Amino acid sequence: MVKQVVTTVCFVLFHCIISYWAFMSSCSIHSSTKTIIPAIARYFGTKGRYEEANTYLIDDILAINNSLVTLPSSNCREIHLTAIIRHGTRFPTTKNFQKMREFYNFVVRDVTSNSLSEIKSQWAMWYGEDMDGRLVDKGRADHRHLAQRLIKWFPSLLTQDNVRHGRVKLITSSKHRCVNSTIAFREGLINGLSMEDSLDEFKPVVNDALMRYFDQCERFVKEVENNKSALEEVKHFNEGPEMKRVTEKMADRLEVPYASITDDSVEGAFFLCAYEFTIRALNSPWCQLFDEVDAQVMEYSSDLKQYWKRSYGHDINSKSSCILFHDLFHRLDQAVAQINFNGTVSEAVTVQVGHAETLLPLLTLLEMFKDDTPLSSTNFANQQNRIFRSGNIVPYTANLLVVLYQCPEGIRMGVRLNEKSLTLPGLTEPVPLYEDVKNRYRALLEGCDQETVCKMNNS
């Protein structure tokens, strides 16, 4: 296994960044009035709020919904939790910002109709390249609130005693949005447990070998990440009839020639709608450029990209997560061995904060959210009921929760995604015996060696 290089995260980083980005507090909407949600918000994909995946949180952000979770018998007790979490809501990356800026400049310069008069008179481009994917205030709140809900879900694991005695571990990607998400999660735990924030030893550690494994997998980088042909299906769809109709409808709304609007144009407009809502809680005029059918096309384009770049489209996508898979099961095995030996575990809770690119390949390796028919550029109409929807799987703050229970009949394992129970493919029980889970994934546990699968000469 790749040697894990861990370094302690300096809290000074957080204080520097928070002071630099303090102005963002004014961009968050804190009002007693209910937010008006865009009709197309459910189609924002990986740019979507966690609340769209769990709509009951819109009314109470600290609520837990027991009807969505299956538990073992009352004779069982929780002994370990691993939570693998995506960072919270963030600014657009530089690449996405450039598309947003180009479309905004086009509107200001070339659109003369009254369709966007409100934007032209009242809205100014406030995003900048220097924001490049940084965490926003809403993203910090996402993680603080998740931590407080997890305290409710797992009151016997997330305790003052476990935190004080080092039985709760925090691991993060080195990216600033992940570091700051982890710090916010820590704050949520400390406040939720009514503890004094004086635990110098309770700090997150950076581990990119685990949380950004995809950067270190040579075969993935060369065959997918840096290979344009790996995303041919996305290209074909964006050049196809469904996307062409979206661009033509937008041109009609703006009263400009069809040639003026490209798939990059509509993507830039879609990003403006999505980010204004997720960051500022605004149902902006940008959203009026899309009807529901348009938004479904935009969502499918995004899902195609996730499918072919991070999921079932190419075998190496999922295999690149072997190191995280083995890390998870090694920890679970250790907890089981300790329980069988003396009834206690040294690591009650492990929280690992990464990216959509961290979670999606691992979920794919576990064969979750796999449609019978692969997503392609030509089957949009037949995929309206697909289960592979990135907005439901990996929105901001998406989380994979793996729980071990000690039961009279043996150790059981429960899996939840975004605080909803999942039944693992190939198993019938929602909370199966841990040994049955290991038998189900025996081939991966005995193989799936990171160094082997990531070598370019491996077929």
Residue 295: which H helix or E strand, with range? helix 292-310
Strands 410-417 and 399-407: antiparallel
What is the distance, to the nearest Å, from the Cα of residue 130 to the centroid of all Cα atoms in its chain?
22
What DSSP designation does 403 have? E
In angstroms, rounded to a whole number, what is the distance separating the alpha carbons of residues 150 and 389?
Answer: 24
In angstroms, rounded to a whole number, what is the distance separating the alpha carbons of residues 161 and 277?
Answer: 39
Q: Could you tell me the CA-to-CA distances from 88 to 166, 309, 382, 395 in Å, in that order? A: 25, 21, 32, 9
Q: Token pair for residue 205?
A: 């550690």
Q: Would you give the end-to-end CA distance of the chain in angstroms?
A: 20
Strands 349-354 and 410-417: unpaired
- Angular region, 291: left φ>0, alpha ψ -120 to 50, beta rest: beta
Half-sphere exposure in the Cβ direction for 200 (13 Å, CA):
1
Please confirm, yes or no, whether 314 is among the known catalytic residues: no
| CB distance 289 to 369 below 8 Å | no
| CB distance 319 to 448 below 8 Å | yes
Query: Which one is catalytic: 87, 145, 314, 355?
Result: 87
Beta strands per DSSP E along 25-177:
77-86, 168-172
Q: CA gyration radius for the chain?
A: 23
Half-sphere exposure in the Cβ direction for 255 (13 Å, CA):
7
Catalytic sites, residue numbers: 87
